[in-house]
Amino acid sequence: MVKVAVTGAKGRMGSLIANLTINEKDLKLVGVTERPDSGIIGKEFSEGIKFFSSIKELPERPDVVIDFTVPQATLKLLEEARELGIPLVIGTTGFSEDEKKKIEEASKVIPIVFSPNMSLGVNILFKIVAEVTKALKDKGYDVEIFEIHHRFKKDAPSGTAMKLAEIVAENLGKELEEIAVFGRKGITGERKPDEIGVLAARMGDVVGDHTVFFAALGERLELTHRATSRETFARGALVAARWIVGKKPRLYSMFDVLGI
């Protein structure tokens, strides 16, 4: 039985993950947290499970903590998890490069699965995009990434779109910050051969669509993943939570979880 704690359990993803955990026979939800100024602290999330403001306050020590919050909250969690020696599964997005380095530093002390998208299908897409990029490198193909999310999403482009762009740049042997183009307007001139376009749309209740285009003169290859329910991300996080328990301190990805 894996004991799980979930941060930000009042939010859409946190609440979903916590509720799914309750219904899994091999998992036990031992606690949930919310930000300290939340009026929900001390109230029940479910029978026998109350909201706390920190994992340090939980009445039962978790084997793993799942975090889908915001960067500021995740960085505070990193400090607490390091102190307690508890593994983390982090699905939060919107980190700066310096903040990502803090996650890397923490992973030298505790095992961490860190992925901008916990969907198993999206991680297969990551793998495929890497292979296609290598195969089409220097063969005249333009790469564009287009993502759509719901109107409530706070960061853009999505963490998944940025990860896709990083994968493309790495396999082209380029630095992403030197060739990424985020939207276009006005007289931009012809497209540069090594550009990676990253475009974001926000509308309605779209859970998450990501398409990577590889286009040459005369043909276009489109690789698309569409999420129709947030449950796909939540269930992927639970797969990662089961997997990380007992692992050595290191920064892991969903590739490690999936064995690919």
3-state secondary structure of 251: strand
In this structure, the answer to whether residues 142 and 173 fall within a common structural domain is yes
Domain with residue 192: its CATH number is 3.30.360.10
Report, as an integer, the average pLDDT of 163-188.
96
In this structure, the answer to whether residues 219 and 242 fall within a common structural domain is no
Please give the radius of gyration of the chain, using alpha carbons only, rounded to the nearest integer. 19
Each residue's pLDDT tens digit, 194-244: 999 999 999 999 999 999 999 999 999 999 999 999 999 999 999 999 999
Tokens 């590739």 correspond to what residue?
255
Percent of the chain topping pLDDT 70: 100
Locate all alpha helices (DSSP H) within 137-219, ordered by sequence: 159-172, 176-179
In this structure, the answer to whether residues 234 and 217 fall within a common structural domain is no
For residue 37 the two structure tokens come to 């100024």
Report, as an integer, the average pLDDT of 139-145.
98
Each residue's pLDDT tens digit, 178-206: 999 999 999 999 999 999 999 999 999 99
Q: Given this model, what pLDDT does residue 94 score? A: 87
In this structure, the answer to whether residues 162 and 71 fall within a common structural domain is no
In this structure, the answer to whether residues 105 and 158 fall within a common structural domain is no
In this structure, the answer to whether residues 6 and 65 fall within a common structural domain is yes
pTM: 0.83
Residue span of the structural domain in which 199 resides: 120-227
List Cβ neighbours of 5 (8 Å cut-off, separation of 6 or more): 29, 30, 31, 32, 33, 55, 58, 62, 64, 65, 66
**Which residues participate in catalysis according to the annotation?**
149, 153
Q: Given this model, what pLDDT does residue 154 score? A: 87
Taking phi over 0 as left and psi of -120 to 50 as alpha, with beta for the rest, 257 belongs to alpha
Average pLDDT value over all residues in the chain: 96
In this structure, the answer to whether residues 241 and 203 fall within a common structural domain is no
Q: Given this model, what pLDDT does residue 191 score? A: 95
In this structure, the answer to whether residues 55 and 7 fall within a common structural domain is yes
Each residue's pLDDT tens digit, 48-95: 999 999 999 999 999 999 999 999 999 999 999 999 999 999 999 889
3-state secondary structure of 196: strand
In this structure, the answer to whether residues 40 and 132 fall within a common structural domain is no
Each residue's pLDDT tens digit, 110-125: 999 999 889 999 999 9
Q: What is the largest CA-CA distance in the chain?
A: 63
List Cβ neighbours of 185 (8 Å cut-off, separation of 6 or more): none
Q: Given this model, what pLDDT does residue 260 score? A: 87
Domain with residue 96: its CATH number is 3.40.50.720
Look at the alpha carbons of 103, 104, 107, 108 in this order and tell me if their dihedral is positive or negative.
Answer: negative
C-alpha to C-alpha distance for 260 and 258, rounded to whole angstroms = 6
In this structure, the answer to whether residues 101 and 10 fall within a common structural domain is yes
In this structure, the answer to whether residues 222 and 242 fall within a common structural domain is no
In this structure, the answer to whether residues 14 and 102 fall within a common structural domain is yes
How many structural domains compose the chain? 2
CA 74 to each of CA 54, 65, 78, 115, 220: distance values in angstroms, whole numbers, following the listed order: 11, 11, 6, 13, 39
